[in-house]
Amino acid sequence: MLHLVEPLCFDMDDTKLKRAGLDYHDLAHVKVHPNLDSALDAVPGNVYAFTGHTSNMYTDVHYESDDGLMFGPEPTGLPEWAMDHPRVTERVRIHMVENIRSLNLANSASIALYEAWRQLGFPGGV
């Protein structure tokens, strides 16, 4: 499930957005929430906040199938108040090369999701 928090910086009905999803839009389960509390209330498991401002590595987490992975907007990342939310279990980071600004949001989410999926034994995979 993909949980998005308003305000969104794009239109969910945008044809470019649908085209970017290619043939997978029918597999996507997306829920738009009016605020962070609503989104985090919908996650039954642990919530991991991805940030460059911690030494805890995402690969050291033992992910469960009901956990949530939280990412912020590309230019700024998660704000401090979001990472301090009581539902956030831990702040984690993705390994980076020194002096590199950051990975983009899509790459970061892909890396993190793939690691969680790997740990869970690739359910539904082929």
Distance CA 111, CA 13 (A): 27
Q: Is 100 annotated as ligand-binding?
A: no
**Virtual torsion, Cα 73, 75, 80, 85, nearest 10 deg:** 10
Distance, CA of 37 to CA of 112 (rounded, Å): 22
- 94 annotated as a binding-site residue: yes
Q: Is 102 annotated as a binding-site member?
A: yes
Q: Annotated binding site, which residues?
A: 72, 94, 102
Q: Annotated binding site for S-adenosyl-L-methionine, which residues?
A: 72, 94, 102
